[in-house]
Structure 1
Amino acid sequence: MNPAYDLTYRMERLERGRAQRVLAVEQRLGGKGINVLRVLGQLGTCARATGFADHTFAAAAADEFPADFVPALPWVRRTLVISESRDGTATGLWEPGAYIHEPHAVDRLADRIGVLLPELDGVVVSGSLPGNIGDEVPAALARLAVAAGVPTVCDVDGPALKFAATVPGIVLMPNQDELERLTGIVADRPEAVVGAVRPLLHAGVRAVIATRGAAGMIAVTESGAWSARLPQPLAGNPTGAGDAAAAAVIRALAATREPDWPAVLADAVATSAAAVVIPVAGEIDPTLRERLLPTVQVTDLTARTPEFP
Structure 2
Amino acid sequence: MIVDRQEAIDLLAERAALMAKNDAPHLAAQRLPEGIESFKDIPYLEDGLSDHLVDVYRPEGAAEGEPLPVFIDFHGGGLYYGTKENNLCRDMILAGKGFVVVNANYRLVPEVSFFDQIRDALAVMTWVKDHVAEYQGNPDQVFVTGDSAGATLAMYALAVNNSKVVRQRWFMAPSGLTPLGFVATSGMFRLEGGVYEPLISYYTAAYFTKPSEIIAIAPYKNDLDRLIVDGNLPPTYLITSDEDVLADNSLELARIMVHRNRDCELRMWPLGQDKVLGHIFNVTQAGDASNTEALEAIDDIARFARRYL
Quick check: which has more Rg, 1 or 2?
Answer: 1
> What TM-score do you get using the length of structure 2 for normalisation?
0.38
Greater fraction of residues in helix: 2
TM-score normalized by the length of structure 1: 0.38
